[in-house]
Amino acid sequence: MKKFFSLVLFAHSIFAMPFAFIGFFLGVTHSTQPFNWYLLLAVVLCMVFARNAAMAFNRYLDRDIDAKNPRTVTRDIPAGRVSANEALTFVIVNCLLFVTTTYFINQLCFYLSPVAIFVVLFYSYTKRFTALCHLVLGLGLGLAPIGAYIAVTGQFAVIPVLYSFAVLFWVSGFDIIYALQDEEFDRSEKLHSIPQALGRKNALQLSSVLHVFSAACVIAPLYFGSFGWPYGVGVVFFCSMLIYQHRLVKPNDISKVDRAFATTNGYASVVFALCFLLDVFLRSR
């Protein structure tokens, strides 16, 4: 299992998982459904299975590309630690586990599960034909809050959709920053990305615009729901992290991309979710 955790970079679940918790507890507080530990476990398992499938499929599909890129040549499949067949088997097993778990949640989740699997797997193909691949990645992770909300309530609502858009714009923005590392490689291999298409300066400007949209989407729930001061603190912190990562990366200096990508965004999602949950707890007393 250790080598498979390395294959899927399990630590990167920190980006979408907190927003799944937000969607789940938003569903509990906005419906008559009581808190259910088994349902929460099922949501977490769905997140894990979907993430495993998406990441392993990306590694499987990109194995030849990764072998050519100096930055990725040490990844598990090119390095021989995991075989391509093992990775593909891992993808199939996790897809089946995801769909099976949704069956025990509710009908709507089960019916929508193939759509979710398609979106998270389809991302891996997109860099081959469109620079909008970053938005497709954002869409895949953006399913987390609305998916968790549907798991509890069995229906859609405005606020969780806003959080899904927040994740979409947030992830798309920081994935553009991450892709700056491969600008020249993508161009030489005729792969598509925003940095390859627009150049570093314009790519960073577009990333900033997407992050403004993300900030707007976490602020907007204040007008649709009843939130207290902890949520306000979370919004300020999340937006501050968006600004901070853009101060770390410049067109002529991308040496701090890893810090902007992993550390800053990890703190942003976790602290924002904790503030949201504290807000829920205080309002329920």
In the chain, domain spans: 2-284
Query: Could you tell me which CATH number the domain at 2-284 has?
Result: 1.10.357.140
Tokens of 187: 């161009």
Instruction: Provide the whole-model pTM.
Output: 0.94
For residue 15, what pLDDT is reported? Answer: 84
Residue 4 confidence (pLDDT): 67
Mean pLDDT rounded to a whole number for the chain: 93
Range 9-14 contact pairs with CB under 8 angstroms and sequence separation of 24 or more:
9/55, 10/51, 12/51, 12/55, 12/262, 13/47, 13/48, 13/51, 14/266, 14/269, 14/270
pLDDT in tens, 116-130: 999 999 999 999 999
Ranges of the chain with pLDDT below 50: none
pLDDT at 224: 86
